[in-house]
A and B are shown apart, each in its own frame.
Chain A
Amino acid sequence: MADTHVEEPTRRDFLYVATGSFAAVGAAFAVWPLIDQMNPDASVLALASIEVDISNVPVGQQITAKWRGKPVFIRHRTEEEIKAAENVDISTLRDPQTDDERLRKDPEGKLERQWLVVIGICTHLGCVPLSYAGEYDGWFCPCHGSVYDTSGRIRKGPAPLNLEVPPYKFETDTKLKIG
């Protein structure tokens, strides 16, 4: 082949490249089902919302509901806890959010200050924080020492964000729909 020294791509080069590209695209399509099978399946996605009765949670206590395999803390806050959450200069916070922004309204449109609903997963590496612990009496994560206040906001430690507020609404005064 030494004598057929050409600079221009030949018809054969074109066919090689075209065949190769076609095979690569085909392989990519064939691989996709193998990758996508690992994503959450239909049965997991079907468990998207739950209803929780909160009528029997006394002031100063909290229940844990399970939503999408994660704990959700539903906390009936005391006046003291609400005051502590509100009296914070939010400019000093790592993830600035007022207490009000983290609460939801009841069906009549009144802000439910006594109910705080957060996903009980530390935003650092996913441990479940201990309730009524830490320096702000909110939550304390035993894994790497993150401290959250009574509004679930990050105050100390390695976690970057506040405890996540899940999508939820008050169906009635005593019934929550999460998801």
Chain B
Amino acid sequence: MSGESTYTPGNGFTRWLDDRLPVLRLVNDSFVDYPTPKNLNYWWTFGAILSLCLGIQIITGIVLAMHYTPNVDLAFASVEHIMRDVNYGWLLRYIHANGASMFFIAVYIHMFRGLYYGSYKAPREVLWILGVLIYLLMMATAFFGYVLPWGQMSFWGATVITNLFGAIPLIGDPVREWLWGGFSVGNPTLNRFFSLHYLFPFLIAGVTILHVWALHVTGQNNPSGIEVKDPSKDTVKFTPYATVKDAFGMAVFLILFAYFVFFNPNGLGDAANYVEANPLQTPAHIVPEWYLLPFYAILRAVPDKLGGVLLMFAAIGVLFLLPWLDTSKVRSARFRPLYRQFFWIHVVVCIILGWCGAQLPSKVLFGSDTQVGIYDTRNEAMDAVTAAAKEQDLSPEDDFKVEEHVVDNKLEFVGSRIDFAFDVTDLARILTIYYFLHFLVLFPLLGLVERPQPLPASISESVLGKKAATAEA
């Protein structure tokens, strides 16, 4: 679709410039005369919304860096200084912090859009892979950024994530110490995370340029999933059509953004991060930011440390393979009656996985116990439970439990046999299996067994209906 350039310089200066640096020609061919399929819906405005998010994060981030101090003794106070003393510091920080969440909301919609309309399929494989790369860079950037305020969640989040690398056999410990620059998360860690947090957005910007380049080579996918046949009928100019539609999408998105910034600025954050980091005390319940929760649930679903880490990275890694896992010849789920249903099941599975990631892993969703007895001390209860386990040939660790209850201001210990328990970890396991099943089994299988609905002859026909398209012709 990136055909011959249609740019004609309008005056002497632009003609002079065009012979020396054809930058205006590039802008014109990419964002003005560029032909876009005329059936693009509002899900296609998220590319522009994401560029806006990146711009907002870079601008607010550069300004915040002028007031922030990356030192373990000063970082927390410098963030409070931004909030209280710096002119409009509260606004800039709230925009930056909520901007990260907004960025991820937009990227998830953008990715699911791609999944629904088959935008990852040939010839857009490289475009999709660059997108997954941007997503990975975004997660790394968000992680580095979350550490900077040096609150309890910052510190312990950094500890848990860096410890993931300790699971690598043989070189795990040296790698971890190399990441930390010490024997635990400390000042060297904070310093380098600050440096990398400043660097990574520019890497994202770089890969985004490649992403847009690849997009403009293959042309945009569209809701019908069929290629442009006759540009004069199937496409409209990027400006004003797509520009205005994108601008409207951005404006609506900014309303949601403004709601969080002005009316619920800490709604998506964790209160524990307003407590300064304490390396000697872990908060009672560590959770990552919402956008990482599904992967956190996958990590915890595996009883083996290395296995959990591998599966978590595999959950993202599998996205790179989608163009080759999908065997269907039809792109858009609009014409794929089976895939359309499994797509929505998968969306729901991802959301529930996210919910699992936010819960205590041992939280019992439903189950039943048989009480062994009530005791005054923990040791008595443990002894009774161990005896009962021996008698019934069960494991005292796995099949029994001792719980504390306060009754009439007195502590009592209830020992019981677990007959049946379905906890958050069990649910996360089932959903994790389904997550991989969706990509590794359903993707290849559906293309083979599914009978797609008939495709329209052209994009123009899909918009106007058969009759009108013929009449127009």
Task: Give every chain B residue within 8 A of A144 (Cβ-Cβ).
Answer: 300, 361
A171 at the interface (CB under 8 A from B): no
Contacts of A35 in B (CB 8 A): 178
In the complex, the answer to whether B378 meets A128 with C-beta atoms within 8 Å is: no
CB atoms of A156 and B397 under 8 A apart: yes
* A128: contacting residue among B177, B282, B305, B361, CB under 8 A: B282
Task: Report which of B182, B303, B304, B397 forms a contact with A68, defined as CB distance below 8 A.
Answer: B182
Cβ-defined contact, B159 with A126, below 8 A: yes
User: Which stretch from B75-83, B183-191, B465-473 is at the chain A interface?
Assistant: B183-191
Contact of B378 among A40, A137, A145, A155 (CB under 8 A): A137
A64–B280 alpha-carbon span in the complex (Å):
8
Give A66 to B182 CA distance when docked, in angstroms: 14
In A122-141, the 8 Å CB interface with B consists of 124-130, 135-137, 141
Q: Identify the closest chain A residue to B378 (Cβ).
A: A137
Closest to B400 in A: A135
User: In the docked arrangement, what's the CA distance between A84 and B377, Å?
Assistant: 14
**Cβ contacts A146-157/B at 8 Å (1 or 0 each):** 000000000110
Is B183 a contact partner of A69 (Cβ separation < 8 A)? yes
Q: Given the known inter-chain contacts A40-B182, A68-B183, A144-B300, please indicate yes or no for A127 contacting B286, CB distance below 8 A.
A: yes
A71-B279, A84-B379 as given contacts; A40 in contact with B160, CB under 8 Å: no
A70 touches B178 (CB 8 A): no
A41 B280 Cβ-Cβ under 8 A: no
Q: B160 and A127: CB pair below 8 A? A: yes
Contacts of A70 in B (CB 8 A): 183-184, 279
- Assembly CA distance A80 to B281 (angstroms): 26
Interface residues of A in 41-59 (CB under 8 A from B): 41, 44
Q: Is the CB of B305 within 8 A of A124?
A: yes
Residues 54-96 of A, flagged 1 when their CB comes within 8 A of B and 0 if not, give 0000000000101011110000000010001000000000000
Decide: A126 near B160, CB < 8 A? Known: A40-B183, A44-B182, A70-B279: yes
Q: Residues of B contacting A64 with CB < 8 Å?
A: 280
Q: How far is the CA of A38 from the CA of B397 in the complex (A)?
A: 42
**Interface residues of A, count at CB 8 A:** 36
Residue B147 lies at the interface, judged by CB distance under 8 Å to chain A:
no
Given that A38-B179, A41-B181 are contacting pairs, would A125 and B303 also be in contact in the complex, using a CB cutoff of 8 Å? no
| Count of residues in B whose CB is under 8 Å from the partner chain | 42
The closest CB in chain B to the CB of A122 belongs to B282
- B376: min CB distance to chain A, Å: 14
Residue from B281, B282, B401 in contact with A143 in the complex, judged by beta carbons closer than 8 Å: B282
Of residues 312 to 341 in B, which have CB atoms within 8 Å of A's CB atoms? none
Are A68 and B184 within 8 A (Cβ)?
yes
- Work out how many contacts link A and B, with CB atoms closer than 8 A: 101
Q: Does A10 reach chain B (CB closer than 8 Å)?
A: no
Of A40, A84, A124, A156, which one neighbours B177 at CB under 8 angstroms? A40
A142-B285 contact given A68-B184, A71-B279, A124-B305, CB 8 Å threshold: yes
Complex CA gap A162/B98 in Å reads 40
Nearest CB on B from A145, distance (A): 5
Within 8 A of A (CB), among B262-293: 279-286
| Interface pair A69/B181, CB less than 8 Å apart | no
* In the complex, A158 has a CB within 8 A of chain B: yes
B94 contacts chain A at the CB level, 8 A cutoff: no
B279 contacts across to A, CB distance below 8 A:
66, 69-71, 128
**Binding site of A, secondary structure by majority: helix, strand, loop or mixed?**
loop
In the complex the two chains form, is A41's CB within 8 Å of B188's CB?
yes
Contacts of B186 in A (CB 8 A): 44, 69
Interface residues of B in 166-202 (CB under 8 A from A): 166, 177-186, 188, 192
A35 to B174, CA, bound (A): 12
The distance in angstroms between the C-alpha atoms of A90 and B304, with both chains bound, is 21
Proximity bits, A106-117, B CB within 8 Å = 1, else 0: 000000000000
**Pair B181/A142 contact, Cβ less than 8 Å:** no
CA–CA, A141 and B305, complex, Å? 15
Instruction: Determine the chain A residues whose CB is within 8 A of the CB of B180 once the complex forms.
Output: 40
Chain A residue nearest to B425 (CB atoms) is A145
B402 proximal to A (CB < 8 A):
yes
Shortest distance from the beta carbon of B194 to any chain A beta carbon, whole Å: 14
Q: Tell me if A4 counts as interface (CB < 8 A to partner B).
A: no
B163 interface contact, C-beta 8 A? yes
CA distance A39 to B382 in the complex (A): 46
Whether A143 lies near B286 (C-beta < 8 A) is: yes
For B283, list chain A residues within 8 Å (CB).
Answer: 142
Q: How far is the CB of A123 from chain B (nearest CB, A)?
A: 8
Given contacts A40-B177, A127-B160, A135-B401, contact A145 B305 (CB under 8 A): no
Any A CB within 8 A of the CB of B143:
no
Q: Verify if A160 is at the interface (C-beta below 8 Å from B).
A: yes
Given A69-B186, A128-B282: A158 and B300 within 8 A (CB)?
yes
A141 to B160 alpha-carbon distance, docked (Å): 12
Q: Provide a sorted-by-A list of 7 A–B residue pairs whose CB atoms are within 8 angstroms.
A: A40-B183, A64-B280, A70-B184, A124-B305, A128-B281, A136-B382, A155-B397
Known: A128-B280, A158-B303. 15 other contacts (CB 8 A): A38-B179, A40-B188, A41-B188, A44-B181, A120-B280, A126-B162, A126-B184, A142-B284, A143-B160, A143-B286, A145-B360, A145-B362, A158-B300, A158-B304, A159-B305
Chain B residues near A (Cβ < 8 Å): 156, 159-160, 162-164, 166, 177-186, 188, 192, 279-286, 300, 303-305, 308, 360-362, 378-379, 382, 397-398, 401-402
